[in-house]
Amino acid sequence: MTESIINLDSINPIEFFGVNNGKLDLLKKKYPLLKILSRGTQLKLSGAPEEVATAKDKIGQIVKYLERNGNLTEGYFEQLLGDEESVDNFTERNPNDVLVFGPNGRTVRARTANQQKMVALAEKNDIVFAIGPAGTGKTYTAVALAVRALKNKAVRKIILTRPAVEAGESLGFLPGDLKEKIDPYLRPLYDALDDMIPADKLSYFMTNRVIEIAPLAYMRGRTLDNSFIILDEAQNATDLQLKMFLTRIGASAKAIITGDLTQIDLPKNQKSGLEKATRILRHIDGIGYLQLDEEDVVRHRLVKAIIRAYDKDKEEH
């Protein structure tokens, strides 16, 4: 039996322990043979010498990560705990994983292997389909790529669009004019931009249409050039709508289409165009295709378990 005390003075201990000790609980689950106690800015490990040494090394790596980056989500904390390589090696093998430096020094990066693959596909192809369940970061990563392209002057504007399809509710019963009715559907896109661009600059971009957020129907008849275009929630686009969108893309544009084929909100008499588009277009040179899964979930750790439970139930029925 051996004991070791780790000081966390160089970081915000809340970022290490997590809200309601959520990250600390993950650490205890990772090393069940150890007794792990937290006292203020200290962490005490007790157990077999080799177990203590292994855990201490991993904790030290995560502390270094927090010293560099300042924050760490619970999902990414769990991923780093499970990574057999060191955190430093994880960073070294992905030297370009920081996509955007947001307000207050926030770093936006590709956090999972598939998100990193999405970045690579977007750099290589002009059109990318990113398909996967909720919480896998496909929309967030796509927006980060668009913001990076704008900051690097690779494009002149960003266009973010979604089908305005009700998810069990009716637009007609929502208060306000058309913009006010549609804005809730586009809220996730606004939220992502808030994380990446200072409020005053974002307001300027929106006012001057450098960044445009609009329903998919508004894309009809336009030619979208010198732009980075994201079609989000594409599973709710019909075949004709998706074809319309794809044929709007100009010669100097890039596009990412994201969607989740398990969450189609179209009326029963309408089919999603996303499945067909990925099936007939995925082998065209210049079009990339990526399938994300529950391993890419970066939301609350329970989201991963929820997705697996639904997938299991679907297989059994």
Predicted confidence (pLDDT) per residue in 167-207, tens digit: 444 445 555 555 565 667 677 888 889 889 888 899 999 99
Amino acid 287: pLDDT: 95
Domains 2-92 and 98-316 share a fold: no
DSSP string, 221-243: T--B-SEEEEE-SGGGSBHHHHH
Burial 276-294 (b: 16+ CB within 10 A, else e): ebbeeeeeeeebbbbebbb
Neighbours of 1 (CB within 10 A): 8
pLDDT tier, 149 (very low <50, low <70, confident <90, very high otherwise): very high
Q: How far apart are CA 226 and CA 254, in angstroms?
A: 8
pLDDT at 42 > cutoff 60: yes
Prediction pTM value: 0.66
* pLDDT, tens digit, 9 for 90 and up, residues 57-91: 989 888 887 777 667 777 778 777 876 544 554 44
Mean of pLDDT values over 210-234: 89
Terminal CA-CA length for the chain: 50
CATH class of 2-92: alpha beta
CATH of domain 98-316: 3.40.50.300
Angle made by CA atoms 173, 177, 181, in degrees to the nearest 5: 50
- Sign of the CA dihedral 106, 110, 289, 187? negative
Mean of pLDDT values over 40-52: 90
Amino acid 123: pLDDT: 92
- Sign of the CA dihedral 49, 53, 59, 64? positive
DSSP assigned state of 316: H
- Which residue is associated with the tokens 């177990």? 51
Q: How far apart are CA 3 and CA 236, in angstroms?
A: 56
Amino acid 102: pLDDT: 75
Domain positions in the chain are 2-92, 98-316
Least confident of 119-128, 231-240, 256-265, 308-317: 308-317
Least confident of 201-210, 229-238, 305-314: 305-314
pLDDT tier, 298 (very low <50, low <70, confident <90, very high otherwise): low
DSSP string, 74-132: HHHHHHHHH-SS-HHHHHHT-TT-EEEE-GGG-EEE--SHHHHHHHHHHHH-SEEEEE-
Residue 261: partners with Cβ closer than 8 Å, 6 or more residues away: 131, 235, 272, 274, 275
Burial 183-206 (b: 16+ CB within 10 A, else e): eebbebbeebbeebbeeeebeebe
- Order of strands, sheet of 127-131, starting from the edge strand that comes earlier in the sequence: 211-215, 157-162, 227-231, 254-259, 127-131, 287-291
**Of all residues in the chain, what percent carry a pLDDT higher than 90?**
39
Q: Calculate the alpha carbon distances from 53 to 6, 41, 252 in Å.
A: 11, 20, 53
Least confident of 92-96, 100-104, 211-215: 92-96
Amino acid 273: pLDDT: 93
Least confident of 50-59, 99-108, 147-156, 214-223: 99-108
